[in-house]
Structures are given as C-alpha cells and as structure tokens.
Structure 1
C-alpha cells in the first residue's frame, strides 16, 4: 500500500488489485481535513443496507438527509438521486477485496471462524496503514482484541481435558442411570407381581366377605320373618284375650242388669281383684313366651350352617395334613441337600489332595522292615489302600495312635442355628478341629464337673446341663468363636472316645440329654462311699491301703446291696488280674480306685458297666410287670415298681414316678390323671438314675 501526491489527493492500492483507484477529489473528500483537524470523511455510512460485519455489499438505501460540510441538510425532493453522496472508492475496494478473500477461503456461512478473522485482520491492517493518524489507537485496540482472543484460546485449551473428563463422567453417569433404571424395572416388576398377588388375595377376601354378608342377610331375613310370625301370633293372642275379656264383660254387664241398684260393693271389689290377678297372670305368661322365643333359630337354617361348618372343618384338616406332608418332604430334601454338599466338599478335598500328592510313588516295601510284624504284615496293611491312606497307616503304626484319630478333617461343618440344636453347637460355617486327645478331653471334662459341683453346693435351682455347659464356655472363653470351637471339639471327642472311656461316654450322653445328670452324681457318691468303706476297714486292721479279698467282697456287697454274687465275683476277678494277686495276697484298694485323665482302672470301668446293666435290667422288670400295657397311669406304675422291688421306700418310689412322668415336683403326681405311653416311659426310666434298692428277694 502507498500514498500518492497530496495536491492531487491521496491514492491507495491493495495487494492483488491491478488498478490504483483514487479517493474522491476536492468537495467530496475535502483535502487536508485529516491533517488539520484529524476528522474522517463525512460520507454517511448509515444508509448502507448491511454493515461489513455481515459481509453484504449490496446497494445502499437512499438516505433521508446527507451531511454537507458537517451540517445536516434535507434531501431534495425534486431530484433525490443527485442528493446521494457516492461511497468512497477505497471503501469499495476494501469490501470487494474482503468479499473475494472470503469466497476463496470458502467462508460464506454465518458464525465465528478463525479463517474469516484472518481476512478481516488483513483488511484492518490496510485500514490502519492508510489512516496513520489513528494508527496507534487502532493498533492498540487491535492488540487488545488479539490478547483477549489469545487468552480465550488458552482458556479453551485448558478446558479441553475437562471436556474429555466431563464426557467420560457423562457416559459413566449414563451407564449408572441405565443400570439403576434396569434395577428399578426389576423391582417394579416384582412389586407389580406382588401387587397382583395381593389384589387376588383381596378379591378372594372380598368374595368371602360377600358370601358371609349374603349368609348374614339371609339369616336376618329369616329372623325377621320368624319375628313377624311371632308378632302376628302375639297380636292374635292379644286379640283373642281382648275378645274373651269383652265377652266376659258383656256377660257381667248382662248379669248386672238383672241385679238391683243397691248391689253389694264388696262383691264388686272381689270381682275387680280377680280381674287384676288374671291380667297379671296373662302378662307374666306373655313375657315368658317372649323370653323363650327370643334366641330361637329355625331348624333348617341350623342344619345348613352345621353342614357348612363340617365341610370347612374337613377341608381345614386336609390342608393341615398336606402342610405336614410338605414340611416332612422339605426337611427330607434339606437333609439330602446337606448330605450332597458334604459329599461334594469331601470329593473336592480328595481331589485337592490328589493334585498335591500326584508325585512319583515312593517305595512302600521299605517300610515293612521298620514296623512290627515285618514285610508280610506291612503288605497286608497296605493292600487296597491309596498312598495317602498308607501314610496314615504308617503314622498309626509308628505312634501307636488309632487311625480314626489320625484321619480327622481339619474343620467341622457347623450344624446351623435352628432352635433344636444345642446352644453350644449353634453356628454357621466351618469350625477348626483341635483334634483333642483322650487326656485333653478328660481334663476339660473334670474341670466342667468341678464347676458343676460347686454350683450344686451354692445354688438351690440349677440350669439344665446343656445350658450350664454353654454358660461355662462363655465364662471361660470370652470370644464367641472360641466358645463354638471348644463346643464342637468336645462334642467330637465325646463321640470318638465313647467306646474307650466310660467317663467320656457318660459326659457326652448327659450333654446330649440322653442320660440324666443324676447318674453321674450317683456314681460319684457310690465311689466315695466305697472309698470310705475301704478306709474304715483298713483303719481297723491297721494295714495301710490294703484289704483282704473277703473284706473287699463284703465292702462291695455293703455299698451295692442289689449287686448279685456273680457281679461281685467278676469284680474280684478283675482285681486279681490287675494286681496279679495270689490266693493269700491282699488288695491295694488305692491302686484299685486310681484313675487319671489318660487312663482308668479296670475295676472302676467294670463297675460302671455293671451299674448301667443293672439300671436297664430294673427297667425291663418294670416293663414286664406292666404286662404289655400300651398306656400307663401313675397308680399302675407305682404297683409295678413295688411288685419288682417290694422293699423300696416311699421316697424311692416317688423318685421313679417323677422320672417316669417327667415331673419336677412330687405334688404334681397327686393331680396327674393322664396316662403315658409305655415306650416314652421306658425311655425316660432308662436314661435316669433308677435302679434296684436293697437286696433282691
């Protein structure tokens, strides 16, 4: 762009424009105004149809007035075309250049665009180069706009990551909304199903209500008909009475007409009293009839209601039986499911063990050289067993421990939390197996019995033994997991050692309520009495801790008067074998009664088995004395006990009766008139501390 000579007026040119158009001369542009006053041309730009910002270069509208030397003059109406001032050439060139550039760049659409901005920036630069007087101001304005644009672009670049984050969050929120809608759709479907079910129940209830209402309406209608009949009958009865009274009065009037005027007033008073008595009697009779017929129901209606009630009762009994059948099937299926789950877990453990043990087979033949019996016995032991089982057999042979104690699971499967399970076994999940030994189990049981004995001496009312055992575990182990763990381990130990130790077996039976607790205390009392008898005899003879065989036999017969001679001889034989006695040797009764947590004396073991057999024998004799009765009353059981054991005291008889009928107080026997099944009676007696008292007659 260049500037021409000033006396001819300034000329301008644009890059890319072939010709150099000049600005209007003299009167139109007023040369020298921008040097002298700093004013721009006074050409009116307001009549243009659209501004250059809208990129429309159409024809200009005709203005109403034009500026002439800075003053506004009205346009001539005679020749309006001559009054319009033409647009400057430079302005037209700028607009034309801008229009061409925008078309080349393809920016013909409305709206902001950086490419369009570049074209406008070039045109604005041309404009600033031409108007050098305003160039600093225009340049400052442009720079401010450029700085603002750069700042806005920088802010946009900073916000682009946030836009990506917002888009990601929007997608995640959309997924969550879709998932929530899906869940709500499922919940709504379930609620709709429940609503339909409740609607059906309500409809059924409404139908039942309508049926009952119809029955009530029918009964009300029948009652109203009956009441109407009664009222009609009562009214007819009243009319009849009134007719009779009227006829009576007429008869009296006809008789009075024959009597003279001076009739006797006393006679008239008597007639009046008699009439009042008749009226009172009729009123009383009427009231009785009303009272008698007040609650009367028609016979046909009563028959219908009775038949309906019987039908409903039969349906109820049938549904009740179906419910019991379904519950039994349900319980059976639960048991089958539990068994299947147990088998599945067992197979899973076996599979895991097989995976771990799938290594090259060892040379098992070498083990036969180091066990008792040699290779021949070892071959018999390992025949038909897997490698894992042979390891257990080898450990059993080397340690002397039974296989049932070695092959134990690491965890117990809990029995659940239902009410029919003992409190110390109520748990869901797996419980660690401590693999208690016989000694550990017996030490624990002795501690339990010591605490139980302490409570028996200090408290009048005791809890049931399973409840006491659960409370004992809670007081000893504060952690609930420890309580459940010891409860299951003691239960398992009682099961494993049931056939090896009579003390552990008795404790397990008492804990499972299969045997009465008094059996244990009765055994302890008998052993204490036996020990005191030995001490008394040894004190008289002056020999410490020993008695002769005859003295031993006499003491046993004295402490256990119901024991037969054969049982006493068996106990003496055990003593001889245990202490290897000769005919003249004496018995060391301290060793005879000695037992610890790991072992028990053969004498005491046999004595406990004999007591159990004697209890069962006594119960069998009572059953035989009942002579096959299916149900037994209190009196019948009393007669049977006295028939089997005549020398039994009344106190001992009452103990048997209370045990047989599961009473806790003797006064309950006097009020008992019901009979008990013989099978239930036998079970209660066999689990109690019931045996023969005195010698057998």
Structure 2
C-alpha cells in the first residue's frame, strides 16, 4: 500500500482517538469563553504542531521519506477503500520520489491553470478557483484536520469578500479621482496659457515702453540743445539791449542839453531880459559861477573816487566770462585727475610689463641655452616601416607632439611584436578585473586590422544586449565566449596593450577610454547613433538613390540636425564635405564617402571634425558652468548650486536631463537625489574638480540657447 495514502487515511483514526475540544465550531472559533481562552487554546495547538509533523507521525516526510506509491486511477486520493485494502503495508523503503497523491494534485492544478482564460478582467478570480478545489480535496481527505482547514478557508473567504467590497466601494472614488485629476490638469494648462498670454502682453508692453523711453530721451536731448541755443540768443539780446539802453541815455542827455540851449536862446532873445536890472544879472552870474565851481569840484571828486570803476554792463560781462572760465577750470581739473590716475596705472602696468619682459627674456635665454634644435622629421622616413611614402601619409597635418606620438606608436608596435609573453599583474584591487592573473600571459600578436575588427565586434554585441553588465565584465565575458576560458586572459592582455599603445587610432582610443572608466559608453553610443541619423537623413534626401545630394540639401540637413551649432562650425563641416565659397549650391556631393572607414578604423575628416566639435562644445559648456559657479576647483559645490548654475547657462534643460547631469556629477542614483526645494540640496556636496571630471566623462551637451528669445 502507498505509504503517503496510508498516512493520509490514518487521519480519520487519529480524529476518533483525539476528539475535537468542546466549545470549538467547524470554523475553528470558540462558541463560549473569553478572548484570552481563545489565545491560550491557539497557543497550545501551536505548541503541539511540531509533534504531529515529526518523523513518528502519520504525515509523509517527503522528500526524505517516500516509497513507490500507487494511487488508484479515477478515485479520490486517500479513500477509505484504499486504506482498508492496503492497511498494514504503509511502511516502505525510503526513496526520493514524490508521493503520487502530491503529483496528481500538481498535475491537476497545472492542467486547470492551462485551461483558464487569463485575458479577462477577472483572471485573478479564475486563477484562484483551482487552488480552492485543491484545498477542498485536502479538507475532504484529511478528516482529522477538516474543522481547522475549513475555518482557515472560511476566514480567507471572509477576508476576500471584505476586500472585494472595499474595492467596489473605492471604484467610484477612483473614477472621481480621475475626473478631478483631469479637471486639475485642464485648469493648470489654462493657467499656463493665461500666464503665457500675460507674459507675451507684458513683454510687448515692455518693448513699447522702451521705445517710448527712447523717444522721450531723444526729445530731451533735442530740448536741451534748443535751451542751449536760446540761452546763447538771450545773452546776445541782453548785450544788445544793454547797448540800446546806454545809447538811449546818451540820446536823452543830448535832447535835454538841446532843450536847455533852446530855452537859453529863447530867454536871450526875449525883450524882458534886456529890461532886467544889471545888478541882479551880475548877482545871478556870480551865483552861477559859484555853482559851476562847486559842480567842478564835485566832478573832480567823482573822477578821483570812481575813476577806476567799470560800468555795470562790463562788470556783468566779465562776471559771466569768469563763471564760464571757472567751469572750464573745474572740468579740466577733473580731466587732469583722471589722466593722472590713468598715468599712474599705465606706469604701474609699464613696470609690471618691464618685469615680465625681463623675466621672459631670462627664460628665453635659458631656453635658448638649454633647448635642443627643432627635430628634422624627415630622418624618420628611413626608420619607419613603409618608407618615405608611409611616413608622409602618417605625418600629414600633424604637429610635433602628434608626430612624437606616432613615432612612439611605431617603436612600441615593434617592441610589442617582439614580446612573446606579458607578465601577469596579480590580483590587487587596483588591477582591472579582466587583467587579474599571476604568471606569464601569451602575446597573441594580432595586427591592427584584427584588433579593430575585434573591438567592433565587441561594440556590436554590446549594442545588441541589455547593457546590465558593467562594460569591463562584459568585455571579458565576450572574450571567454569568443576564444574560450583558457585564451580569454591572453587576449585580454593582448588587446589591452594594443589599445593602450595606439592612442592615435580612434577606435582603440575610444575603447580604451570607456574600458578604463575615463569616458561613459553612452558617449560612443550616442556618437554612432548621430552618424547613423545623419546618414539616414542624407539617404532620404537622395530621391534617386544615386549616393549624391546637392550642397544646399547638405547644408539644410546639417542646420536641422545641429540647430545650436555656430555658423562657422556648419561652414567648417561643409568645407570638409567639399563645399567652397566660389562653388554653387547645386553642386553634387557623394555623401556616402563622408562616413567610410579604412581597415584600421580611421574615419574620414568629416567624422573627425564632428568629434572635435563635440569635444570643443563640451569643454565650452563646462567652462561656462565653472564661470557661473564662480568657484575654484579645490572648493566644494552643493547640489543646489550645481542645479542653479546648470539652469542659468542652459534654461532649456528638462527635469530628467538635469537630474541625469546632477546624478553624474555627484555619482548618485537619480532616486537618491533630493527633490528641488528640499533642504538636503544644501547638505550634499562634492569637490568641484571631481564633479567637472565626472561631467567631462559623460555625454553632456547644451540643450538650448543661453537666453530665451522673447515671445512675439
């Protein structure tokens, strides 16, 4: 007889020998007694459970104890007939097979779940039904535990029904919440539209007021010039009137003199005068002579006292002249003071310049004394493999520093090929994971072409994967899959030495920077996606599919793809593509040749110029950020200051990109960054130099112009 079935069926006998305690219903709840009695009873049952589940009980201890059971087909497991037929034979040799009853229940559950339609709304209810049936089988077959299992089932059913009622009660609230949310969103959009309209009106009014102010300023200047002119005319008229007044006084005096003379002549001709007394005339003459003497004395006194006095008109003219001269003197004094200060500054600057000149002169003499003559690079033609032709090709357009790098690569390539083994670097923490090895490592000695091809395969598989694995770990996993675990470490050392040596090769240098963590792999990926997008746009413009587009189409594609690039940068790209100032916009361009690469991974000048402009724009962007922060590299910068500086230099940054830049700068997960306005923004800080290095390694670029253009 099946041992598990014998144990299952023996529960009925256990139930007869261990009757259910009084006061407990079929659902397992106490009919009488306090809550403390229930807790005491449950705790006693909980203490007795380990005894019933021991090796000596009637339950099967599978998988440590099982036997070759057989269960009657088309019968309920653990039936009474089966128990009577096979009683006394439940003890079988130990085995590791599952009980047949358990297998049948699992198969039944699996089939029922496969038959369910889980695409409906009540899929979870349907999925729960097979589990209910399995639980019913347990309740029916395990007679001894049927009350306890029934109470457990009923308790869960009551809780499920209660939860369904709560869900039904919350459905209208959910719908209302969605309606309220939509209403709030509409209000927010309306308020934003009103704010934009109001902002536009305010900007228009501002421009109108600025024009009005300019007009008023022009009127003020015109009025000032007119006032100056009127003052000048007033002064001239004043002088004219003074002259007229003096002339009028002279004329009045002359008229009075003439009148007096006429009266004297009239008196002299009057017959009455001849009839006057001579004595009286003599007396009058004497008095007249006395008056004349007195008047002459007064005149002499006046001449003596006021001989040096000038007329009031001359005095006022001199006073005005003196005032003008005083104003000119004050202006000249102020100009003299400014000139004197500038002269002192120029003297100080001259002294500093003299000191710098002397210092530079001494440095020049020292450099002339210690420096070596400029190298003759033509001497390398006979040393480099390939002769003068290959050296001319390598040295074309290179400066001395780049030529030194090329010469070192050529020398290093020869030394690298002579090595048969590399020394293992050990297992230190500073050693990259893919280079941790003790002992000599074989040099596979691949060619540049093989190395570039292998690195491109790594990138292809990386772009096709999920990118969850770190890039160095993925690199070593790729080598294990390609060459096997034995040769993976040898290829890792070989490739690492090659990419570390050939820095002038674009593919190798970019791979080395990403592998060593000096640059994020997103930089390489985004650059490749940008080139693919440019090629796609040019292919779409090529309606004849001949591989040719016009220069005008080429210019339009560049301007649409790079709306933030300066005009001179666009012109540089067009000139590298083949455009000349004297050429026509209708000239054709073979655009596919711009994206070609040779066997060693060297791209065309167009792609190289795109990369150079990208790096220059990133450096310019970070320099603007540093100037906006106004801090030294040794200082610490907080999240708040970095956020404000980024928004000031690039107002078009969206929240997601801003959080990505902050996460990269402070090496935090986006979820660990504090929200805007949180006090934690002022407490999280890092060194400005570290933050700038982290941003330099990431794919950071400007998202919009520095200042927003005013809305029309």
**TM-score, normalized by the shorter chain, greater than 0.5:** no
The structure with the larger Rg is: 1
TM norm structure 2: 0.40
TM norm structure 1: 0.40
